[in-house]
């Protein structure tokens, strides 16, 4: 397979967009990505559309991409709708990468778009629950009261977090420290949902969602869209923006063994790229809840088992530290519009590798990793995508 480059990236501001539709959000991201690339829409040979919640929230199933992208001028081209819950955006990106890597086309577009905020918040939570393994999980008993007060996923993250803290003798303040770090990063990202700094005390004092998780340790409900233009080397080289290369894109499913989907996806991406954890300069991880970021440090090999919370509290993963994680603000503060998150992670890393990340630039960033995970099978994510990029 041939080398693939990102020639353009576009993204809406993430947040509550009461006045915008899935269609207008998607169009804004696509227009931004195409403009960023300088390529005409006509150059696009295939489109992969990632969305997770529109079926439950709007009733539109099956052909969401065609309906959402109708005003963009892309209708007529191959449009393929993909779903992998919170990893839908990176799954779309994986396939767009494959389309170009294979030589099937020279330009492919990945779009992640989500309108998750509903006037009835229970509908949003119901949408999120539809990304868990409903056939095998007894949500009523496994997630307890969380089902009625928030996302069922947070009940699962809470159980893991409690076990982690006990096993490694850490307190809830390390969970709060993830939120504090990512809020500080988001303050530097004009497209992030929550840009006000928060202190450890404020995070701990926010409403308990599922002990030990408080509200500010949980990814918010978010609307937004992001789009990425993948292209061949011949197409990419003349483009205005410095092209960023995809060194590897790896996807795995999980849920029938130990909770190792993140570890397997990252390992595979490292194998394919020849890059290891020590080579990384900047990383976007899937901090749908604060503890997930800490365990992912360990799963991708930034540190040993049980050492993730120290890596964090020693400032190693903050901007200015040895290996900054979630410079965008992450899911916790940039926001988490389910199907858009995977493309938003790539948007951030493209800007970091171009040296165009403004106040949150990681100096000299050359090699980057994104990990986007989604769905819940009961003991592990249903899908995880790991992407390695370089300058």
Task: Say which residue the tokens 């020639």 belong to.
Answer: 7
Does the annotation count 86 as an active-site position? yes
281-301: string of b/e by CB count within 10 Å (b at 16+)? bbbbbbbbbbbbbbbbbbbbe
**Candidate list 13, 16, 41, 77; residue touching a copy of itself; CB under 8 A:** 77
List C-alpha distances in Å: 313 to 61, 220, 367, 369: 44, 23, 23, 21
User: Interface with a copy of itself includes 259 (CB under 8 A)?
Assistant: no
**Candidate list 18, 62, 169, 196; residue touching a copy of itself; CB under 8 A:** 62
User: Interface with a copy of itself includes 81 (CB under 8 A)?
Assistant: yes
User: Interface with a copy of itself includes 104 (CB under 8 A)?
Assistant: yes
**Candidate list 16, 20, 101, 391; residue touching a copy of itself; CB under 8 A:** 101
Nearer to a copy of itself, 21 or 391 (CB): 21
Tokens of 325: 């994680």
Site for a copy of itself in 30-59 (CB under 8 A): 47, 52-53, 55-56, 58-59
Q: In what order do the strands lie in the sheet with 46-50?
A: 46-50, 107-115, 223-232, 4-11, 244-253, 381-390, 367-376, 282-284
Distance in angstroms (rounded) separating the CA atoms of residues 152 and 211:
13
User: Interface with a copy of itself includes 124 (CB under 8 A)?
Assistant: no
Nearer to a copy of itself, 145 or 256 (CB): 256
φ and ψ of 115, to 5 deg: -115, 95
The closest of 335, 380, 366 to 89, measured between CA atoms, is 335
Q: Alpha helix (H) ranges present in 130-260? A: 139-142, 146-149, 152-168, 172-186, 200-205, 233-236
**Candidate list 3, 40, 42, 103; residue touching a copy of itself; CB under 8 A:** 103
Nearer to a copy of itself, 81 or 352 (CB): 81
Active-site choice (86, 105, 218, 231): 86
The closest of 221, 142, 229, 213 to 179, measured between CA atoms, is 213
**Candidate list 8, 26, 27, 83; residue touching a copy of itself; CB under 8 A:** 83
User: Interface with a copy of itself includes 131 (CB under 8 A)?
Assistant: yes
Nearer to a copy of itself, 326 or 384 (CB): 384
User: Interface with a copy of itself includes 196 (CB under 8 A)?
Assistant: no
What SS3 class is residue 4? strand
Distance in angstroms (rounded) separating the CA atoms of residues 255 and 15:
31
Site for a copy of itself in 361-380 (CB under 8 A): 374-375, 377
Distance in angstroms (rounded) separating the CA atoms of residues 65 and 78:
10
User: Interface with a copy of itself includes 233 (CB under 8 A)?
Assistant: no
User: Interface with a copy of itself includes 267 (CB under 8 A)?
Assistant: no
User: Interface with a copy of itself includes 247 (CB under 8 A)?
Assistant: no
Nearer to a copy of itself, 137 or 162 (CB): 137
List C-alpha distances in Å: 28 to 21, 68, 81, 115, 227: 11, 11, 19, 13, 9
User: Interface with a copy of itself includes 256 (CB under 8 A)?
Assistant: yes
Given the rule CB under 8 A, which residues bind a copy of itself?
1, 21, 23, 47, 52-53, 55-56, 58-67, 70, 74-85, 88, 91, 94-95, 98-99, 101-104, 127, 130-136, 251-257, 264, 374-375, 377, 382-383
Residues taking part in catalysis? 86
């Amino acid at each position: 397979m041939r080398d693939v480059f990102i020639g353009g990236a576009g993204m809406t501001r993430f947040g509550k967009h009461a006045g915008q539709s899935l269609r207008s959000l998607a169009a804004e991201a696509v227009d931004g990505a195409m403009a960023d690339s300088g390529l005409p829409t006509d150059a696009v040979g295939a489109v992969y559309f990632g969305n997770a919640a529109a079926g439950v929230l709007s009733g539109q199933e099956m052909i969401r991409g065609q309906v959402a992208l109708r005003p963009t001028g892309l209708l007529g081209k191959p449009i393929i709708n993909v779903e992998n819950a919170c990893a839908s955006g990176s799954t779309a990106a994986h396939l767009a990468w494959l389309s170009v890597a294979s030589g099937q086309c020279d330009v492919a577009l990945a779009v992640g778009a989500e309108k998750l905020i509903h006037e009835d918040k229970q509908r949003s939570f119901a949408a999120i629950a539809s990304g868990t393994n409903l056939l095998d999980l007894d949500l009523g008993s496994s997630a307890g009261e969380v089902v009625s007060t928030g996302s069922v996923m947070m009940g699962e993250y809470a159980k893991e977090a409690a076990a982690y803290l006990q096993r490694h003798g850490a307190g809830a303040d390390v969970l709060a420290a993830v939120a504090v770090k990512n809020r500080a990063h988001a303050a530097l990202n004009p497209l992030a949902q929550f840009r006000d700094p928060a202190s450890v005390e404020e995070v701990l004092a926010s409403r308990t969602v599922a002990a030990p998780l408080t509200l500010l340790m949980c990814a918010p409900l978010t609307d937004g869209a992001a789009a990425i233009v993948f292209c061949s080397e011949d197409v990419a080289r003349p483009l205005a923006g410095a092209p960023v290369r995809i060194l590897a894109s790896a996807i795995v499913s999980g849920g029938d063994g130990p909770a190792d989907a993140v570890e397997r996806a990252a390992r595979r991406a490292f194998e394919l790229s020849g890059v290891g954890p020590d080579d990384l300069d900047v990383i976007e991880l899937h901090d749908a809840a604060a503890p997930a970021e800490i365990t992912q440090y360990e799963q991708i090999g930034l540190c040993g088992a049980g050492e993730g919370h120290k890596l964090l509290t020693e400032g190693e993963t903050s901007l200015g530290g040895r290996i900054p994680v979630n410079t965008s603000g992450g899911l916790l503060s940039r926001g988490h519009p389910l199907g858009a998150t995977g493309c938003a992670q790539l948007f951030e890393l493209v800007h970091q590798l171009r040296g165009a990340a403004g106040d949150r630039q990681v100096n000299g960033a050359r090699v980057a990793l994104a990990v986007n995970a989604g769905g819940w099978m009961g003991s592990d994510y249903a899908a995880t995508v790991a992407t390695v990029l370089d300058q």
